[in-house]
């Protein structure tokens, strides 16, 4: 899989190197601006420029539109210009209308720096030719009976003229284009998405500030709920009758004899789902001290089945559709058994 890191180097990670082994890794904590400087990310300057087309008598300015561009010192794949003996490369990322309010990467870094009160970042990087910037900061982690669950706040700022600015909480450590895609698909209750029109910078700043303020309380509340589930035992019978019967219910038996065969087939499918989850509960290779024989293990067995083991499922179902609903039903069912 391609990491798509710009120039194989415009990436920074705190403590743990990424799978691709590129960029810069620091054992010391760095804020967003310092880390971007360290990885050469700040060297890319993003801006808008007038749009011109070739006419019969020479260049003609296009009214109502502008180009989104990036400029990087040195020779790269792009349009090279030389000023005062210094070679620079100009990248054109997209063409937009005058109503487009660009959040330039320098501004995105500054917003992050201020909103998080200069908190250490986890990763920051540029993708492609620098059109996409991503930043992640680790939020307070959740620990459930020794199992540590890491949470991150992520910003994706794209200047291709097509992609919305995105910010969200997630559990994926974003280090490249692939993990960014995974993070954007994750189910989360905190997801900001906005087009680049008037007021988008202010909206993004306000959303990030609010999330940063409340996230610690949310994480602590979630940690307590998960720890409660990890302390309550769950037998296979409790799993079947108290959890799986709710998540994978049998429909009422129809009175119309013509529908009996359909009803039997549906019940058989539900029974198959229940059986597989029950097997994961007792013998999954991902089991830990916190999940063996507990309600936390019951919930994790449903999640593992819906996200990884179930065939013919889709990312949309897992994160937005029926799969998401089944995982939420499992959590609710487990909490009612506490």
Chain segment 138-179, per-residue pLDDT in tens = 887 666 555 666 778 999 999 999 999 999 988 777 888 877
What pLDDT was estimated at residue 144? 59
What pLDDT was estimated at residue 163? 92
pTM greater than 0.85 (yes/no): no
| d(C-alpha 297, C-alpha 278), whole Å | 10
What pLDDT was estimated at residue 288? 85
| d(C-alpha 253, C-alpha 176), whole Å | 50
What pLDDT was estimated at residue 301? 93
Could you read off the pLDDT of 211-257 as tens digits, one per residue?
888 776 766 677 788 889 999 999 999 999 999 999 999 999 988 87
| d(C-alpha 153, C-alpha 172), whole Å | 10
Backbone angles phi, psi at 160, to 5 degrees: -90, -5
What pLDDT was estimated at residue 249? 95
What pLDDT was estimated at residue 1? 40
CA angle at 324 for the pair 319 and 328, rounded to the nearest 5° = 140
What pLDDT was estimated at residue 313? 56
135: number of Cβ within 10 Å:
29
Sign of CA dihedral 166, 169, 174, 179: negative
Residues in the chain with pLDDT values less than 50 = 1
């Amino acid at each position: 899989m391609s990491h798509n890191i710009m120039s194989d180097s415009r990436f920074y990670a705190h403590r743990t190197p990424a799978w691709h082994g590129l960029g810069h890794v620091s054992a010391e904590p760095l804020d967003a601006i310092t880390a971007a400087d360290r990885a050469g990310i700040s060297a890319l300057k993003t801006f808008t420029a007038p749009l011109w087309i070739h006419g019969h008598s020479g260049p003609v300015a296009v009214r109502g539109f502008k180009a989104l561009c990036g400029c990087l010192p040195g020779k790269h794949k792009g349009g090279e210009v030389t000023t005062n003996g210094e070679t620079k490369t100009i990248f054109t990322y997209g063409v937009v209308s005058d109503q487009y309010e660009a959040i330039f990467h320098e501004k995105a870094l500054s917003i992050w720096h201020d909103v998080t009160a200069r908190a250490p970042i986890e990763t920051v990087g540029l993708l492609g030719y620098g059109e996409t910037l991503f930043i992640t900061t680790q939020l307070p982690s959740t620990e459930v009976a020794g199992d540590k669950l890491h949470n991150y706040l992520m910003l994706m700022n794209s200047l291709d003229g097509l992609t919305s600015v995105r910010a969200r909480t997630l559990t994926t450590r974003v280090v490249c284009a692939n993990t960014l895609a995974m993070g954007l698909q994750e189910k989360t209750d905190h997801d900001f998405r906005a087009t680049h029109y008037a007021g988008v910078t202010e909206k993004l700043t306000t959303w990030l500030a609010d999330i940063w303020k409340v996230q610690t309380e949310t994480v602590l509340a979630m940690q307590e709920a998960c720890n409660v589930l990890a302390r309550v035992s769950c037998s296979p019978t409790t799993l079947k009758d108290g959890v799986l019967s709710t998540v994978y219910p049998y429909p009422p038996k129809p009175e119309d004899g013509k529908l009996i065969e359909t009803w039997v087939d549906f019940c058989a499918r539900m029974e198959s789902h229940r059986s597989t989850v029950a097997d994961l509960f007792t013998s999954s290779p991902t089991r830990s001290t916190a999940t063996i024989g507990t309600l936390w293990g019951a919930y994790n067995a449903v999640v593992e089945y819906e996200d990884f083991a179930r065939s013919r499922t889709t990312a949309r179902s897992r994160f937005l559709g029926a799969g998401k609903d089944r995982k939420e039903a499992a959590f609710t069912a487990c909490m009612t058994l506490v």
